[in-house]
Amino acid sequence: MVAEITIYYEICNRCKECVKAGSYGVLELCEFNVIKEDKIVFKEAVYAKASGNEVVVKDILGSSKKFGNSAIVEVDVTNTRLVLSTI
């Protein structure tokens, strides 16, 4: 099953009405709070990529943040937490 999702960033008010899979039901996005050194450093991340000693996270609107000298140490879907540590 492939669902095409169109997000109109210029009018988005983060209601998530655009995140639907047609007659297949509703897709739920898991948006993570990114935590480093016991502090929330990025909210509502839907993408994370670790490459070397760098982690990049993005939100649904495409805003991104890079964390140098970092590694992903925990992904907790139940509590929507993505935990980073300094390396």
- What's this model's pTM, rounded to 2 decimal places? 0.69
pLDDT of residue 79: 87
pLDDT(80) > 80 = yes
pLDDT, tens digit, 9 for 90 and up, residues 10-19 = 555 656 555 5
- Confidence band (pLDDT; 50, 70, 90) for 21? very low
Write the single-letter amino acid at 74. Answer: E
pLDDT, tens digit, 9 for 90 and up, residues 24-74 = 444 556 789 999 999 999 999 988 999 999 999 999 888 999 999 999 999
More confident residue, 20 or 65: 65
